[in-house]
Structure formats: C-alpha cells, structure tokens
Amino acid sequence: MLSKSNSSLPIGVFDSGVGGLTVIKSLLKVLPHEDFIYLGDTARTPYGSRSAETIKRYTQEDINFLLRQRVKLIICACNTASAIGLNDLPKEITTPVMGVINPMIAIVKENATSNATIGILGTRATINSRAYQSKLKTALPKARIFDIACPLLVPLIEENWIANSATRDVLKTYLTPLIKSSPEILILGCTHYPLLKKEIAKLLPKTLILDSGNALAKSVKALLTTNQLINSQKQPGKIKFFVTDSSTQFNSVAKIFLPNISNIKAKQIIL
C-alpha cells in the first residue's frame, strides 16, 4: 500500500539477469535521489526460453525477495516476466508491482498515428506471449504489427559484441522484414536491446525506436509524484545489487550497462 511515510524506502527492481540494468540507468536519470535494490536472477537466466509456469514461479520468488527488503515499489524490468510472470499475483501483495509493457504501450500510443506500422523485437517467450501485440491492438486497432523473436542478441550483448560485425549481420537478418516495411515505431521488447539502439537506428533511420527503460522511468516518476513518494534526500541515491549466481561475471558485464557507476559489487543470495 502506497503511503507518504514510505518515501524514504528504496525501489526494488528485478530482472532475469543483467538486462534490467538499462532500466536502472533510465531511472537514475529521472530519479537521481532514489535508492534502489536490484536483483538479477543470474542463476536461472534467461527466462525467455522457460515455460509459462516456470516464469510465474521465478517471478513470484523475485518479488518475495524484494518484499523482504522493505521496498516502496517493485519494478519488473524483465519483458518476459512482465508479459507472463505478473499474471495472477497473490492478492496479499499490497506493494505496487509495475511491469515494463503497459508504460511502453502508453508511450507508443502518444507517438503513433492511428494506422501506424509498429515493429516489436523480443525474446521468444515475450513474442509468443502476444502481450505486446494484444495490448497494441486494443490501443491502436488499425495498426499493422510486425513481431520478431531475436534469441541471439542477448548473448552477443553480454559478450560485449555490440559493435562487432557479427552482431551487425545478425541484426540485419532479424530486421530484414522491418527494413522492407519501414515501421513508424520499433519497440525494443527486451531490456538488453537498448545497447544496440545505435546499430538498429542505422538500419531503420526513419523509425522511432522506443525502449523499456525510458518508458518505464516516466511512469515510475509520475506514480511516485502523485502519491508524494519522491525521496526528499539531497544526496545521490544508492544501489544495492544482488544476484543468484556468482557475482564475478555480473560485476564484469554490469560495467557495459552502467559505465558511469564504479565498483559494482553484487552480493550472491539464494531465493
């Protein structure tokens, strides 16, 4: 339950791994005085190849961990978990839980024409869930939607092959249908994909490319402001990082996502 007295509590953010750090990066820009607790479920990543039942169980366990940390808001920074794992959460969870899909749909609706051509890139699970597609059809019934599962992009990004020719070749292969259709808007339906935004823009120079972090940050700030929950501290907020597997790899890869934050040291925990 939202209460003004909880304004000094941290915001909890979880993801199946490191991808949610792009959401943290966006949140820090608009909410620089908020404290955050980040959970990366690195032992069980990726969620995109799991069954719906497994994704729901993992999501619930992630939420339960953050609830034990006493947070004022929980953000599901994983598109797959937002599409599947947030369905049917127990009623006893009174802390607000926000996924990445609804904020994205709101931003798309603000920027799209009524009969826009819209592309969606995501993991297999996110694309197969049809969560984005069904919500877009409700918001923009006349829109033409192209959805593409891109399972190779996450491992390429985590290897820091962002500007590598192999990554450009894979991107071009995935984006060929969109290059032909020249969409008005492209949704990056995975929190890893913003790191490829520049490369994608080279292939789709006339397309408005939207990512989860920026869309979500706008919604989070509006929610906190409306409920008088903005942290009033003057100093920059702090971030605590937790992972479910060895922190060594996470700490290394996290530098790719958050280059301006030094000494990222995640604590390994068991859910």
Q: Which helix (H) or strand (E) holds 118?
A: strand 117-122
CB 24 within 8 A of CB 258: yes
> What sign does the dihedral 200-120-28-111 (CA atoms) show?
positive
Tell me, what's the pLDDT at 261? 87
Q: Summarize pLDDT for 124-163 with one digit per residue, the tens.
A: 889 999 999 999 999 999 999 999 999 999 889 888 899 8
Q: Summarize pLDDT for 111-135 with one digit per residue, the tens.
A: 999 999 999 999 888 999 999 999 9
**What are the backbone angles phi and psi of residue 212, rounded to the nearest 5°?**
-60, -40
Active site residues: 78, 190
Would you give the DSSP letter of residue 71? -
Angstrom distance (rounded) from CA 265 to CA 110: 38
pLDDT confidence of 3, banded at 50, 70, 90?
Answer: low
Tell me, what's the pLDDT at 180? 87
Residue that is written with structure tokens 């920027």 in the block = 111
**What are the backbone angles phi and psi of residue 103, rounded to the nearest 5°?**
-60, -35
Tell me, what's the pLDDT at 73? 96
Looking at every residue in the chain, the average pLDDT score rounds to: 93
Tell me, what's the pLDDT at 238? 94
Please give the domain boundaries of the chain with CATH numbers for all domains: 4-99+215-268 (3.40.50.1860), 101-212 (3.40.50.1860)
**What are the backbone angles phi and psi of residue 206, rounded to the nearest 5°?**
-100, 5
Buried-state track 98-133, b at ≥16 Cβ within 10 A, e below 16? bbbbbbbbbbbbeebeeebbbbbbbbebbbbbebbb
Q: Is the pLDDT at 47 greater than 90, yes or no?
A: no
Residue that is written with structure tokens 């993801």 in the block = 15
Q: Is the pLDDT at 171 greater than 90, yes or no?
A: yes
Tell me, what's the pLDDT at 163? 87
Amino acid at 123: T
Look at the pTM and tell me if it is higher than 0.95.
no
Task: Cis check for the bond before 194: say yes or no (omega within 30 of 0).
Answer: no
Tell me, what's the pLDDT at 4? 66
Q: Is the pLDDT at 1 greater than 70, yes or no?
A: no
Buried-state track 48-66, b at ≥16 Cβ within 10 A, e below 16? bebeeeebbebbbbbbebb
Contacts of 260 (CB under 8 A, 6+ apart): none
Tell me, what's the pLDDT at 2? 62
Long-range CB contacts for residues 172-175, cutoff 8 Å, separation at least 24: 172/203, 174/121, 174/148, 174/150, 175/148, 175/200, 175/203, 175/204
Q: Is the pLDDT at 84 greater than 60, yes or no?
A: yes
Tell me, what's the pLDDT at 215? 87
